[in-house]
Amino acid sequence: MSDEDKYIEVKVWAAKFTAYDAKKLIKQGASILLCHGYITNGAKKLLNEAGIQYRENICSDELKIDQPYHDE
C-alpha cells in the first residue's frame, strides 16, 4: 500500500471493536485507533502485533471531526 493510501488516525464510534475490525484496520495501514467503545482482547493483540496505537472508551466529544468518512 502506498503512503498516500494510508490513514494516520482512525476514529470509531462503535460500542465494540473486534478482531475482525482490527484486521480491516491493519489492511488500511492506520497507525492510531481512537474508539468510543471498548476494544476486545483479540483485537488488542492484533493491533499490538501490527504496531498500531489505540485508546478505547473515549468520550464522543473527543471524537468530533469536521467531515465524516464512511467506508461501505
- Residue 68 belongs to a domain: no
Examine the pLDDT at 70 and tell me if it is beyond 70. Answer: no
Each residue of 16-59: pLDDT tens digit? 999 999 999 999 889 999 999 999 999 999 999 999 999 999 98
Supply the pLDDT for residue 11: 87
Give residue 61's pLDDT band: very low, low, confident or very high (50, 70, 90).
confident
- Residue 9 belongs to a domain: yes
3-state secondary structure 28-49: HCCCEEEECCEECHHHHHHHHH
Residue with the larger pLDDT of the pair 22 and 61: 22
Supply the pLDDT for residue 71: 58
Please tell me the distance from the alpha carbon of residue 61 to that of residue 72, in angstroms, as a whole number.
Answer: 24
Angle of helix 41-50 relative to helix 19-28, nearest 10 degrees, comes to 20
- Residue 21 belongs to a domain: yes
Supply the pLDDT for residue 31: 92
* Number of compact structural domains in the chain: 1
- Residue 50 belongs to a domain: yes
